[in-house]
Structure 1
Amino acid sequence: MSSENELDPSLFTATVTSLTHSFGDNTRRKIYLYLRENPGATASDLSVHCEVHANVVRHHLERLSEAGYVTFDNVRKTTVGRPAKGYRVVDSSLVMDGSMRRDALLVALLEMALERLGPDAAEAMAHDVGVQYGRTLGRGVGQSENARSVKTAMASIAGLLTAHGFAARAEEHDSEQSVVSDNCPFGSAAQHHPVLCAVDRGLISGMLDGLGAECTRVTLTSRARGDDTCRVTA
C-alpha cells in the first residue's frame, strides 16, 4: 500500500503545466479582463495597459485565441499599412466563469500536493519538472547548433521564456549571467508555496543542457522568498 505522503509525479507535472497555461497568469488574465470591457483593443493598447512589451501581449493573445477565448477583427486605419487587429472575447459570461472554476480546482489540487509531499520533496519535484520541460525547450531550439557559451545560451533562454509568458531578460554582472523574470506564470500560487520557484531553477538548468551549454552551478532568487527580483544565475 502506498504511503499517504506519496504522490504520482505525473499528477504534479500535469498540475504545474496546466497552471502555467491557465488564466492564473497575471498578464493573461489582465488582457482578458481588459478585452471584456474594451472590445476592439489592439496589441498596442494592451501593451500600455499591462505595462509589458507588445510582443509579450501578442504571445498571450495567440494562446487565448488558440484556446478559443479571444478572437479579432481587422480595424481599418487612416494611414498607409496593414489594418490593425482589434481583439474581443468570444463569450465573456461563459468563458470567465468556466476558467475561474478550473483555476480554483487546479490551485486546490496543487496546494494539496505540496502539503502532502512536504517542502523538501516538493521542491525536488518542482525542480525536476522544470529540468524536463527546459531540456525539451532547449533541444527544440539547439538541435542543429553547436554547443553554446553560457552567455549566449542565457540570452536565448530569456527570449524563449518571454515567448512563454515570463517577460524575461538577460543580464550580466561580474562575469555571471542571469535571467530575470518580471512575470511569474504561477501567480499567487508561488506566493503561498515558494517551492514552486524551484521550477524556474530547473527550467534554466534544463534549457542550458538542451542548448549544449555547460554550467555546473545555477542559483535562484525570487520575490516569493523575500528577494528583490526573480533571478536565475549561472
Structure 2
Amino acid sequence: MPRPGYSAISSFSRVRILHLLQESPQRTISDLCEITGLHPNTVREHVQRLIDGGYVVPEVEKRTTRGRPRVLYSAADGVQDWSPIAARKARDAAERGDLMRRVMPWTDDHALENDAVHQLDALVEDLGDAGFDPVVDQHQLTVDLSPCPHAGTESGNRSVLCAVHLNLMDGVLAQARGPLRVEGMAPSCNPHDCVVHLTR
C-alpha cells in the first residue's frame, strides 16, 4: 500500500489550513492563527510550504489608507487564484509525459486530445507526490485512488481530507489548462475503494 509522501499536504495541520483557504480565500496569518489555535510562526511555516508546493498564493492587500498592507492568502484554484509554481509543475509534467509516450508509444491510447492528456500528466504527478498511486481510465474519465493512503485517518478528519484532495485535483487540472475538471467521487466511495470522476 502506498504511504503518504512528505509533501506540502502530508501534515494534517497544513491540510486544515488549506481547507480554510479553499472555503474562504484572502485570509491573513492572524485569521488562520485564530481559527486553528496554532502559533503564528507555525502557521507561517505551514503556509510557506503550501506556497512552495503551488497550493496557495499570496497577495499584498491594496490599501487606500495609511498603514502597512497585509498579505492575504488564498488556495490556488487555477482560475481566480493562479500559482506560477503550479503552472510550472504542470508544464514539466506534460514534458515528461510527452517524453514517456515517445519512448513507450504503446502507453498512449489516443482517447483524449493533447491538452486533456497533459492535464492528466499533471494530475498523476501531483497525486503521486502526495502518496497516491492513481490509475487513470481515459475512456471512462475516472481516477482510481484505491486504496487511499489516508484510509487510517480518523473518520472525523476524513471528510476534510477528501474535500481538500478533490479541490486540489480540480485546481491541478485548471492550472494545466484543458477541458477536464473534477466532477466528484463515486457514490460508493470509501477509503478502501475511492474513484474520482472527471468531466469535460
* TM-score, length basis structure 2: 0.42
Relative to its length, the structure with more helix (as a share) is 1
Highest Rg: 1 or 2?
1
* TM-score, length basis structure 1: 0.37
